[in-house]
Structure 1
Amino acid sequence: MDQVDRRDPDWEGVRLHVVSGKGGTGKTTVAAALALALAADGGRTLLIEVEGRQGIAEMFGLAALPYEERRIATVSRSKLGLDGRGPVGELFALAIDTEQALLEYLDMFYKLGRAGKALQKVGFVDFATTIAPGVRDVLLTGKACEAARRKGPDGRRAYDAIVMDAPPTGRITRFLNVNSEVAGLARFGPIHGQAQAVMRVLRSPETAVHLVTLLEEMPVQETVDGVTELAEAQLPLGGVLVNMVRPPVLDAAAVDAVTGDHREEVALALGEAGLGGRSKSATTVRAAVEPLLDPLLDQAREHAERVELEREQRAVLQQLKRPTYELPLLGGGVDLGGLYRLAGELKRQGAA
């Protein structure tokens, strides 16, 4: 069997995986793939969505998820295309509804009961989370942290891992740094205590914040900025997940070669490949392949430029000195089969 299938995971001991990334990088897809990979050895993983987009439900072909944890998939190593047999793992999902989370919080700490429903009717919930967005973030992160700490009647953890599909990189530090966000609102009391409890989990060795990027200048720069901000906020850095990596079309020598004038060599190669038909006349062959030369050379140059750009962006990411994982670009979009393939790649590379 392939030795890479048995690589030890890089994040042993991490229970809460926070996944962020610039919009358009496939953050939700990567978060779902990571959750599947974490469950593949027979564990229970909870995938949490906090932005209200129902992206997880759409990805797994489900109706909109309610504000409750429910099982959405089973997974095993064989499903991910990996060697070895093992127990079947379970993937659960939760789409956090801010309004329901606040009512749950008010009932838990203030025993409001029916009064909480009345607040909902008069629009208090929207008002509270709009004027105090820090409270909203405490509720969202608090739910994930509670799930990470929760234990069953037997004393065992309810979940082996939690994966949070978090807000984009530009907002992730503020979203997670709830202590500073609520400092001006509550210096004591339940909200302050909740923020303190959340930060204890988020800054612990059991948490890692992973950033999703593409090999393009803007996403990579946003990743660099995100790493810097997270480090300054003393939030635990995870890995860098490079998504939608295109397979190489030309080798390094061919990429370097297309920068010159190679019309004659390309014309000869096309003729030898039979594109000129059966004619042995050089004039006839040249006439047949001539219309193909400029488009082919233009495409080769565009590919060379992209390869060079990707080289440069990889070099930038290497300077971050973070574990880095690459996921292939899947033609035609990501269906459920593709999601399992990406999960297998993460498992092979040691991300889970």
Structure 2
Amino acid sequence: MSIDWPRVQLHVVTGKGGTGKSTVAAALALGLASHGTNVLLCEVEGRQGIARMFDVDPLPYAETRIATGLSRDGEPAGSVYALHIDAESALLEYLAMYYKLGRAGKALDRFGVVEFATTIAPGVRDVLLTGKVFEAVQRNSRNKGARQYDAVVLDAPPTGRITQFLNVSDQVAGLAKVGPIKNQADTMMTLFRSPRTAIHLVTLLEEMPVQETADAIIDLQQARLPVGGVVVNQVRPQDLDPEELAAARAGTLDAAAVAKDLDRAGVSPDDDLVDALVAEGGEHAERRALEDAQRAVVATLGVPAYELPRLAGGIDLGCLYELAERLKEQGLA
């Protein structure tokens, strides 16, 4: 599917809160859904973030087509489908598929048994959520007529919880030593620990997100879960060369040159405006220096790194396609 990850069918996207992991997951799905391929984009956190990004109605517990994938080289694009997974619906589907409890399962839901089961038993909720993702990747005859996907992208919980979320065999260890729940968890782990899965981490070029990314990589590797790449999101423009950046940091930018540039652009170069731009240039240069220091840390993490630009004005569908193109150019999508 992707240049860098040709064997991967399940792309898990995680990141510290506020880094834009949901945006990256959506862009990755659009990028992967090219050349006629179909991709399922899943979310498990109950926020209906996919619906807001793609400006569609809140998603039901059903695979819904929401967009056409990125098209390149004149080839027909595939489609992006989305699925909002909640534990209660996943449990009812599991009971219907494996225990033939159709109406009986719905009766349990009415009596609150489903909510009780997913709340009282530690780890059961995560097993149900990841179990549906596993089923979407590895479809079998129990789900007759279900659509087959070339790739599944999971907008996963944040980095602080991702190892626990995916390590379902440990989650159920205290709940069931044998039986169908234990067997299902073990089967799921064969996918999550295989080369068919890659866990991508989203970060900003800031100290805390980069450190949390580094810690998460260590945790994932210790749990024998496959780390993918690091996506550095919201990178500032890099229009100034090193000499200009040094001058901006030192406060020695040529104000007269700035005024001439404004005049050439048809803007009146009054002193207040020039002074404000010079000051803003200094702040930008300081920020760039901090980003460059964190970029050097990312380079030591031992995994491929990809960069996405900061886009002004928020994220809409057009922006998602632009980010998808960037991921495609760099080999992630």
Query: TM-score w.r.t. structure 2 length?
Result: 0.91
| 2:301 aligned partner, one-letter code | L
Question: Please, which moves more after superposition, 66-75 or 158-167?
Answer: 66-75
1:238 alignment partner in structure 2? 228
Question: Please, which moves more after superposition, 27-36 or 251-260?
Answer: 251-260
Picking from 209, 216, 221, the partner of 1:226 is 216
Confirm or deny: 8 A CA contact 2:32 2:70 kept in the other structure: no
Compared CA separation, residues 310 and 113, structure 1 to 2 (3 A) = same
Deviation digits for residues 108-139 of structure 1 (CA, Å, limit 9, x no counterpart): 33333333222212222222222224111111
How far the C-alpha of 1:154 sits from its partner, in A, is 12
Query: TM-score w.r.t. structure 1 length?
Result: 0.86
Picking from 112, 125, 137, the partner of 1:123 is 112
Picking from 282, 295, 301, the partner of 2:276 is 295
Matches within 5 A, 1:323-342: 323-342=304-323
Compared CA separation, residues 185 and 156, structure 1 to 2 (3 A) = closer
Query: Are positions 1:23 and 2:5 aligned together?
Result: no
Picking from 295, 300, 307, the partner of 1:319 is 300
2:65 alignment partner in structure 1? 71
Tell me the SS of whatever aligns to 1:250.
Answer: coil
Query: Are positions 1:145 and 2:134 aligned together?
Result: yes
Matches within 5 A, 1:1-352: 9-78=3-72, 84-150=73-139, 158-262=148-252, 266-269=254-257, 289=271, 291=272, 295-352=276-333
Confirm or deny: 8 A CA contact 1:109 1:190 kept in the other structure: no
Confirm or deny: 8 A CA contact 2:255 2:275 kept in the other structure: no
RMSD value, Cα: 2.5
Confirm or deny: 8 A CA contact 2:42 2:154 kept in the other structure: yes
Aligned residues, how many? Answer: 327
Tell me the SS of whatever aligns to 1:238.
Answer: strand
Tell me the SS of whatever aligns to 1:258.
Answer: helix
Q: Take 1:293 and 1:71, find their aligned partners in 2: how far apart are those partners?
A: 50
Instruction: Choose 1 or 2 for highest CA Rg.
Output: 1
How far the C-alpha of 1:151 sits from its partner, in A, is 5.6
Compared CA separation, residues 273 and 314, structure 1 to 2 (3 A) = closer
Tell me the SS of whatever aligns to 1:17.
Answer: strand
How far the C-alpha of 1:293 sits from its partner, in A, is 6.2
Question: Please, which moves more after superposition, 337-346 or 247-256?
Answer: 247-256
Q: Take 2:276 and 2:77, find their aligned partners in 1: how far apart are those partners?
A: 51
Q: Take 2:4 and 2:118, find their aligned partners in 1: how far apart are those partners?
A: 37
How far the C-alpha of 1:273 sits from its partner, in A, is 5.7
Q: Take 1:335 and 1:106, find their aligned partners in 2: how far apart are those partners?
A: 38
Percent sequence identity over aligned pairs: 60
Q: Take 2:275 and 2:171, find their aligned partners in 1: how far apart are those partners?
A: 57
